[in-house]
Amino acid sequence: MNNRVKIRRFARALSCVAAVALLLLVPYVAADDKKGDADAKKPKPKAAAKMTNARLGALLKKRFDKLGGREGFWIVPIEAEKKGEKDILLMIVTDERANRMRIMMPVRKFDKDKDKDLLLKLLKANFHSALDAKYAVNGDTIWSTFLHPLATLQEADLDNALSQVRTLRKNTGTSYSSGELQFGGGEPEKQPQPDL
């Protein structure tokens, strides 16, 4: 048998297999089309409203009586927890062009020479217990921070962020946690070392 005959027989067999497969798939494709039509008739959920400085400002005004600052840089004095301490400033900073939002509170002064052990604790907390709020160091200050894209920020995200930033600041020196949960359950005895 020559190659041409083999190729013709193979082509016929292949076309038969394709025809059988097509016949078997037609009912499923038709069912999917009907399902697709039904899905198209269902009302689509409303897309969440895009967060803007104006909308964020209105939400903050509802939450804080003493809201200061200006659009894109709001300041809220939070009453000190201990007598004799000054009020703590909670800051909300946005940049609509860069689509960023940051909530932050100063935690305490940072001395790079004396606080090396503390810095390690903060980094570990960022991994295990700080959840969405994180510690940051800028200049000589340790901060409790929360960063998020501004446009997709939802009202529930805002409330969660405000709570976590305040809780993380409060728990510095104890649990270093921004909430009741911890991711993973703490630092294991021996960390696996990734190849870098």
> What angle is formed at CA 160 by the lines to CA 159 and CA 166, rounded to 5 degrees?
95
pLDDT in tens, 105-162: 999 999 989 999 999 999 999 999 999 999 999 999 999 999 999 999 999 999 999 9
Residue range 25-81, pLDDT digits in tens: 555 555 555 555 666 677 766 777 899 999 999 999 999 999 999 999 999 999 887
Within 10 angstroms of residue 123's Cβ, the number of other Cβ atoms is 13
For residues 172 and 142, the answer to whether their CB atoms sit within 8 Å is yes
Phi/psi for 80 (5° steps) reads -60, 145
Backbone φ and ψ for 179, nearest 5 degrees, come out as -170, -170
CA distance 49 to 153: 9
Q: How many residues does the chain have?
A: 196
- Residue 129 CA to residue 122 CA, distance in Å, equals 10
- Residue 93 tokens read as 């900073």
Tokens of 31: 């069912």
Beta bridge partners of 141: 109, 138
Residue 62 has a pLDDT of 97
Confidence at 83, pLDDT banded by 50, 70, 90 = confident
Starting at the edge strand found earlier in the chain, the sheet holding 100-109 runs 68-70, 73-78, 88-95, 100-109, 141-148, 134-138
> What span, in angstroms and rounded, lies between the C-alpha atoms of 176 and 66?
28
Token representation of residue 87: 């009020």
Q: Report the pLDDT value the prediction gives residue 84, as an integer from 0 to 100.
A: 81
Question: pLDDT at residue 190 above 70?
Answer: no
